[in-house]
Structures are given as C-alpha cells and as structure tokens.
Amino acid sequence: MMDVRRRITTDSAIGGVNIVPVIDLCLVLLVILLVISPLMDRSPVEVTLPRAHVLKEDEENHISISVNPDGRLAVNSQELDLKDLERAVRNELKVRGSGVYVIIRADENVQYGRLNELIKIAKDAGATHVALGTREIEGDESTLGAEGATP
C-alpha cells in the first residue's frame, strides 16, 4: 500500500495587522507639526519696528496689520492688497469682537502719511482701539505700545 501521510502545513501568515509602523508615522507627523506650527503664525511681511518706551500688553487677542517700506501689507498672517485691507479688518473684528486692539506694526522707515491712511482704514472698518506697535528699548520691561488713536 501506498504510504499516505498527512501533510502538516504551517501557515506563516500574520494573524493580524501590525500597527506599530502606523503609530511611528503618526508620531513623526506630530513632531513635524509641533516644529512647524510656530512658523505658521509669523507675518509674511517683515518689518523693523521703531523703538519706544511702551506699555506691556495684557491680551493676546488683537488684530495685527503689518506694513513694510515697500508697501506690502498683511493682516495677522495673511498678506493682502490695500484695497482688501478694510474688508479683512472688518471680518476679523466680527470674529474677535469690536473691543480688540488693532495693532499697526509699521517698519520704522514707513512714511507717516501711510500710517495715517492705515489708521483711517482701521477706523472705517469699525475698530475702536488702534495702536502702533514698537520694539522694546533695551532695559525696558514693556513689549507693545498702546498709545492708540481712540474715537
């Protein structure tokens, strides 16, 4: 008679899904997000603020208008044209409330007439508190000017 043997086969297939690589990928993405997120809040318009003795700002809830000597503008972290500035400030005021400060961060080489125009646009958009941003003088504890133009 023929030798009939039962063949024993071993399945080398994996019994489940290995999630360790998925967790590794998630952790790497989390680290990348944590490293990049502080860079996302920067204004695309670089300005050098003038120096002044200034008051310390109590709140972080403000709207920032940045302008450089070339005339490039940004509201918070969004670069835009002068014609879109009033609409953008009005939208930010709707979101944050009308009592927030609008901080104009103008480079020290921006002409006064340009600042006056930006203050007028902010007021026309509905801002009740407009201030000019300045740099801290060495040895001074303050960080932000609040000598604002109020109605």
131: helix, strand or coil:
strand
In the structure, what pLDDT confidence band is assigned to residue 31 with cuts at 50, 70 and 90?
A: very high
φ, ψ at 38 (rounded to 5°): -65, -25
Distance between CA atoms of 92 and 117, rounded to whole angstroms? 19
Distance between CA atoms of 46 and 26, rounded to whole angstroms? 34
With beta carbons less than 8 A apart as the criterion, state whether 73 and 85 touch: yes
98: helix, strand or coil:
coil
The reply to whether the predicted model has a pTM over 0.75 is no
- The pLDDT of residue 57 is 53
Distance between CA atoms of 48 and 50, rounded to whole angstroms? 7
